Amino acid sequence: MPNNRSIAVLVFCIGLAPILWYFYLLDLLAINIPKWDDHGLRAFIMRFQEAQSIPQYVDAFWRQHNEHRIVYDRVVSIVDYTLTGHLNFVHLMWVGNLSLLFIVLVWWKVFQKSAGLLYLLPIPFLIFNLSQWENMYWGMAALQNFGVIAWVMCCLYALAYQLPLGLSISLAILTSITSTNGLLVWPIGLLILWLQSPRKKALIWLGVGILIWVLYFLHYEKTEQPTHPVPNKIVAYVRAVLLIAGSVAEPLWPRKATLLVLSTGFILTLTSAFILLKLTFTFFRKRTLTSTDYFIGSGLAFVLGTTAIVALGRLGFDEATFTTSRYKVYTLLICVLVYSWLIVQSKGWVRTGIGLAALAFSVLITWTSYSYFFDDSQRLQNQLTGIQFDFSNPVEVTPVQPINEPARTWYDASFHQLVQPDTALLRTYPGLTITTRNTQTLIETTQPGEAAKNFVRSYYLLHKPGKSYLIPFMFTASDRPGISPANPNYIQPISVTNIDHNPAQYLPGEYSLLVVTHAEGQSTLYKTSQIIHIPEQSQTPRLKQNW
């Protein structure tokens, strides 16, 4: 029989594989260009620089960002800006993604005490996979969404295993200033302390928790949401909960993803509810629970509570919102918690069978998510690259020290050629079909076989005197489960790109349509002899931003 040291080394080596692959993909596709809420961190840096009094500094850190207080994100941002002279969103991604390691370390300690380290093996595969791609490649979201999960799990571990109360309170405060759902740790922690510790600790916890909740919601304002009417709110809400809880299964069967996700969500939600009920009955029967029981039960309470709140808060959004990558961390964590309870409750060959089945499932999730979400990751990089170009021309005088420096991109060497293209000697790009419908233009093109991979490195260039826009080709991966991105048929042979005549995105006018491809640092420009007309139209009022 192998000794504990040998098992630890084996688990470490095998568990390191998905983690290294995950961070390799992060390094491969992460790009230092702000996405959506990242601009809120740029605004924070400017607000911090302009502050002249303590209340103004406090407001810069404490003010709402949508429905959250993101003090943690802002602290990391100002540290990065101070140390490097610029805000680098790739640095934020790395800090946020590295916080996931705390989850694995917590479970290392849990299984070391309860079941054995060999049963840890499925967990790195479940946590570190490309299902997380949206948070993974988004600085602000990586800090917030991964950070809050990491600090909550550390806090619940400290409470369940009765580590010093000061440590638990510090971790609870950290969760609260990372994301709003971190506030759930206070009522959950109160219940743990009330049941297993002297009442004095519970009362101290309650006092600090009330103070944090009061401060959090002091001058709090509800934010507007772009929702649509919901005919049957109960059905829509239940469906939303199941979609969030079951979205781990999305890459397993792309052709029937919604059906599989709903079924998986039903099974995981029902199993989680059963576990919580079982722990409740066990406590009332025996008047005690193990530390591991407290940890797993409180973890499930937090994840299910978060799922319920997110489903309610996003009711009226499109259903795709509930399976978005931003929320995948919660469905993955439900899987980890359910698996942990099954392992702890079982023994002998049953435990071994559960461990092997979970390992096979987790490896399958890692592989299929790599196949299913790699094209999403590539599209995001292309979209951000195009956005940077759009805001870089015409060239304007920039501040002496901008908040963030432009990312290095494939078009750096050909920037002026794209801003002022000379079409006289250009070849014509073949096979484009253009259809204009109301306020949209659809551009369709086909590339046979392996040539479809060129879609990943292709952009449309809209150009008129004084202004150019880069619009990446849209492309989708094959719907074969688990197909490798290295497969010649990974990218489907048809590209359909929609150009929405959005006045907030494009200046009105007549634009020549060109095509740009790039490979190995070289750019090639093609003409199409097509004109895209962006008409003048009223701009839809934007939702009010509080950051």
Q: Which long-range contacts (CB under 8 A, 24 or more apart) does 100-104 make?
A: 100/127, 100/128, 100/146, 100/149, 100/150, 101/19, 102/150, 102/151, 102/153, 102/154, 103/127, 103/149, 103/150, 103/153, 103/333, 103/336, 104/15, 104/19
Which residue type does 182 have? Answer: G
Tell me the whole-structure pTM to 2 decimals: 0.95
CB atoms within 10 A of CB 449: 9
Three-class DSSP category at 272: helix
Dist. CA 248–CA 346, nearest whole Å: 24
Whole-number Å distance between alpha carbons of 151 and 101:
11
DSSP state of 52: -
Report helix, strand or coil for 85.
coil
> Rg of the chain's alpha carbons, rounded to an integer?
25
List, as one string, the DSSP characters of 434-495: EEEETTEEEEEEE--GGGGGGGGGEEEEEEETTEEEEEEPP--B--STT--TTSTTSB-SEE
Tell me if 463 sits within 8 A of 512, measured CB to CB: yes
CA 290, CA 95: separation in Å to the nearest integer? 33
Assess contact for 461 and 470: CB atoms under 8 A: yes
- Closest residue by Cα to residue 332 from 544, 107, 533, 492: 107
Contacts of 444 (CB under 8 A, 6+ apart): 432, 433, 434, 435, 494, 495, 496, 497
pLDDT at 198: 87
Cβ neighbourhood burial of 89 (10 Å; 0-12, 13-18, 19+): buried
Instruction: Determine the Cα angle at 161 with ends 204 and 333, to 5°.
Output: 105
| Integer Cα distance of 206 and 212 in angstroms | 10
- From first to last of its 547 residues, the chain has per-residue pLDDT tens of 456 778 888 888 899 999 999 999 999 999 999 999 999 999 999 999 999 999 999 999 999 999 999 999 999 999 999 999 999 999 999 999 999 999 999 999 999 989 899 999 999 999 999 999 999 999 999 999 999 999 999 999 999 999 999 999 999 999 999 999 999 999 999 999 999 988 999 999 999 999 999 999 999 988 887 788 888 999 999 999 999 999 999 999 988 889 999 999 999 999 999 999 999 999 999 888 999 999 999 999 999 999 999 999 999 999 999 999 999 999 999 999 999 999 999 999 999 999 999 999 999 999 999 999 999 999 999 999 999 999 998 876 555 578 999 999 999 999 999 999 988 889 999 889 999 888 899 999 999 888 899 999 999 999 999 999 999 999 999 989 899 999 999 999 999 999 998 888 899 999 999 999 999 888 999 999 899 999 887 766 677 777 7
| Residue 281 burial (CB count, 10 A) | 10
What structural domains and CATH numbers belong to the chain?
4-220+232-381 (no CATH), 386-534 (2.60.40.10)
Sheet holding 433-437, edge to edge: 433-437, 440-446, 494-500
